[in-house]
């Protein structure tokens, strides 16, 4: 046998011996590839579940924060509207106080740091043009202080509440000074130019009302023939 023929025969014999091992490796690779193509491992599923849980948690937290913020804004808006309405009630009634009472049954204007009494042309229900004895009161409560209203036809009504303890009335005189009582001088029959309801506590209050209507409207009489 020649040398080349011997080498060729040896190469073929070596390939024949290695063929079973090569086929086993290919079969293992094909099996692994087949498993990868048909499903996920348990670790991959756990990772996906964790990520989905984290994303869901963040979304729910953001949604809850948005809802709570919206509720707080609504409550704040409602409270602001209520406070505006309360101030309008106080302003409209207080502006209608008159200086000269039409008869002896009417009350002249008097004021202290906690009480205002006088004759007004407008009551809390909106009835206008009829002189009515009217009072505003600052009263202490368990939570702070409140502003109450009363008149000849309306029982005492709570108009507003504040978490404060130094709410008070002050009266602007014609000399530009603020007074804690009115009249500022004994025998003075004028009403103040304005009334200030204020508090400097954690819940500040600053309601200033200019009293513009200082005369009762004249009553005209007619004779019919």
pLDDT in tens, the chain (225 residues): 555 555 455 555 555 554 555 555 555 555 545 555 556 788 888 888 889 888 888 888 888 888 887 788 777 777 778 888 888 989 989 998 988 777 777 788 999 999 999 999 888 887 888 888 999 999 999 889 999 999 988 899 999 999 888 999 999 998 889 999 998 887 777 889 999 999 987 778 899 998 865 554 554 544 545
**Which has the closest alpha carbon to 206: 218, 214, 197?**
197
Predicted pLDDT of residue 7: 45
**Which has the closest alpha carbon to 183: 99, 123, 57?**
99
Strands (E), the chain: 110-111, 115-122, 128-140, 145-151, 157-162, 168-172, 178-179, 194-199, 205-210
Contact 94, 209 (CB under 8 A): yes
What is the spatial distance between Cα 56 and Cα 126, in angstroms, rounded to a whole number?
55
Give the chain's end-to-end CA distance (angstroms, integer): 164
Q: What is the pTM of this model?
A: 0.63
Phi, psi of 217 (to 5 degrees): -65, 140
């Amino acid at each position: 046998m020649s040398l080349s023929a011997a080498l060729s025969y040896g190469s073929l014999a070596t390939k024949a011996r290695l063929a079973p091992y090569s086929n086993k490796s290919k079969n293992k690779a094909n099996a692994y590839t087949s498993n990868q193509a048909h499903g996920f491992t348990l670790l991959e599923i756990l990772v996906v579940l964790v990520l989905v849980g984290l994303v869901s948690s963040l979304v729910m937290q953001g949604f809850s924060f948005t809802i709570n913020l919206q509720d707080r804004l609504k409550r704040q808006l409602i409270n602001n509207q209520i406070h505006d309405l309360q101030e309008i009630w106080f302003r409209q009634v207080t502006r209608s106080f008159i200086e000269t009472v039409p008869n002896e049954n009417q009350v002249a204007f008097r004021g202290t740091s906690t009480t205002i009494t006088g004759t007004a042309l407008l009551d809390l229900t909106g009835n206008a043009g009829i002189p009515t004895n009217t009072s505003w009161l600052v009263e202490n409560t368990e939570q702070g202080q409140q502003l109450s209203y009363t008149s000849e036809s309306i029982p005492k009504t709570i108009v507003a509440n504040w978490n404060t303890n130094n709410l008070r009335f002050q009266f602007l005189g014609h000399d530009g000074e603020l007074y804690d009582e009115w009249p500022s001088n004994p025998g003075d029959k004028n009403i103040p130019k304005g009334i200030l309801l204020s508090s400097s506590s954690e819940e500040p209050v600053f309601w200033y009302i200019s009293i513009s209507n200082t005369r009762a409207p004249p009553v005209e009489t007619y004779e019919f023939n």
